[in-house]
Amino acid sequence: MTPTQHTGGLDGEAPGAGPDPEPRAGHEPGIQAGPGAGHTPEPETGPAPEPEAGPAPEPETGPAPEPEAGLEAELDAELEAELHAGFLAEAAHWLHGLFGPADRATAAVGRILDVGSGPGVASRALADAFPRAQVVAVDRSAALLARAEARAAEHGLAGRITTQRAERPEEFARSGPVDLIWTGNVCRHLGDQQAAVRSLASALRPGGLLAVAERGLPPRFLPRDIGIGRPGLQARLDAAVEEQVTARRSRLPGATSVVEDWPCLLASAGLVPAGSRTFLIEFPAPLDVPARRHLHTRLHGLLTDLGERLDLVDRLTVEQLLDGDSCTGVLWRPDAFYLTAVTVHTARLCRPLTTSRTGS
């Protein structure tokens, strides 16, 4: 399954969300795996053998038994990252072009940080785009960093991709000055997003580039009317997630309210904005099995985490979508698709940030 890449204008989840003070699942604040509060969702069992008139091709091997919550979150983080691999490769190629002609860009970038690397899908894309660079994958999860190391070895990049475990912004630059920093959906998990950007900027060499993938448009995967429940379920789920994100951000250590104008935040950190670009990630219906499994896990997390933010009708509708034996479930529906967009904002360091380095 190959995504269609376009530029254009979702709170899309770029892979590899970084430091997160709460359990991870699918890299979306407000989505966790595990038992629900006041409501126990139906365990993920995978689809039964396809009915005679089933609407979608039978999966080749059905989903494995549901793993523990932490492992499930890590597996889904990797699956989501792989769904976004095409976008990451295109984004890395675009960043290469921001450094100038091909030969100059390749020579200019010798060291890269992938902050919030997750399983290392972005690290691989960056290593491929900058063939002379050493890439450091930085994440809080030891298990995901182990997957990043395994992925690098699988693709012959073990000598160029290393890992570093870190949770706080001041730890990101522990490995020394770098020429390029990629960070996907990390700042949203930190109380003071402006301070996080300043800390990232302090790790750059003069001429270096910071690329921040934050927010976008939320993933869409269902039609407005799905034939069960009330039309408009997806829009109500998105609204409930936004309320949960706002509530969670208010409880983060050092939570500070800022206008999420990323070019402005980058400029306030002493950098010169170098351009923004939005990437569309599209998998049309009918979806193949990995994408369906990701959507099933995402819906399971939404049902668990949103709790009473959903009314009874919507909770029952989501439960029906999670039913692995029903042709109306997301594992079988012929109309399920995957559409999201991720915006990447870039800025360059034109002179040393001596003050920021001293204070970080």
pLDDT above 50 for 206 = yes
pTM of the predicted model as reported, rounded to 2 decimal places: 0.78
Helix (H/G/I), strand (E/B), else coil: 135: strand
> What's the average model confidence in pLDDT over 122-141?
96
Q: Give percent of the chain above pLDDT 70.
A: 77
**Which of the four pLDDT bands, split at 50, 70 and 90, describes residue 170?**
confident
Cα(267)–Cα(256) distance, integer angstroms:
18
- The 4-7 sheet, strands edge to edge: 4-7, 272-283, 338-348, 204-220, 178-184, 111-115, 134-139, 161-165
**Which of the four pLDDT bands, split at 50, 70 and 90, describes residue 353?**
low
Q: How many CB atoms lie within 10 A of CB 17?
A: 28
| Confidence at residue 73, expressed as pLDDT on a 0 to 100 scale | 66
Helix (H/G/I), strand (E/B), else coil: 347: strand
Cα(203)–Cα(136) distance, integer angstroms:
13
| Confidence at residue 69, expressed as pLDDT on a 0 to 100 scale | 52
What are the angstrom distances between the C-alpha of 181 and each of 13, 204, 210, 272? 18, 8, 5, 15
**121-133 burial, b if ≥16 CB within 10 A, otherwise e?**
bbbbbbbbbbeeb
19: phi > 0 → left, psi -120 to 50 → alpha, else beta; which?
A: beta
What are the angstrom distances between the C-alpha of 51 and each of 29, 55, 292, 293, 332? 36, 9, 17, 19, 10
pLDDT above 80 for 51 = no
pLDDT above 60 for 58 = no
Cα(75)–Cα(147) distance, integer angstroms:
10
pLDDT above 50 for 19 = no
| One-letter identity of residue 346 | T
pLDDT above 50 for 95 = yes
286 upstream amide cis, omega within 30 of 0: yes
pLDDT above 50 for 180 = yes
Residue with tokens 């570093």: 164
Range of weakest confidence among 43-52, 174-183, 214-223, 351-360: 43-52
**Which of the four pLDDT bands, split at 50, 70 and 90, describes residue 125?**
very high
Give pLDDT tens digits for 305-325.
998 899 999 999 999 999 999
Question: Is the C-alpha dihedral spanning 167, 170, 171, 173 positive or negative?
Answer: positive
Do residues 279 and 15 lie in contact, with contact meaning Cβ atoms separated by under 8 Å?
A: no
Q: How many CB atoms lie within 10 A of CB 233?
A: 21
| Confidence at residue 23, expressed as pLDDT on a 0 to 100 scale | 36
> What is the overall mean pLDDT for the chain?
82
First to last CA, the chain: 43
> What's the average model confidence in pLDDT over 146-160?
96
Backbone φ and ψ for 117, nearest 5 degrees, come out as -70, -25
Cα(100)–Cα(294) distance, integer angstroms:
37
Tokens of 115: 């902050």
Angle between helices 121-129 and 142-154 (to 10 degrees): 40
pLDDT above 50 for 67 = no
Give pLDDT tens digits for 240-257.
999 999 999 999 999 999
Give pLDDT tens digits for 320-338.
999 999 999 999 999 999 9
| Confidence at residue 259, expressed as pLDDT on a 0 to 100 scale | 95
- The one-character DSSP state at 223 is -
> What's the average model confidence in pLDDT over 266-287?
97
Q: How many CB atoms lie within 10 A of CB 259?
A: 7
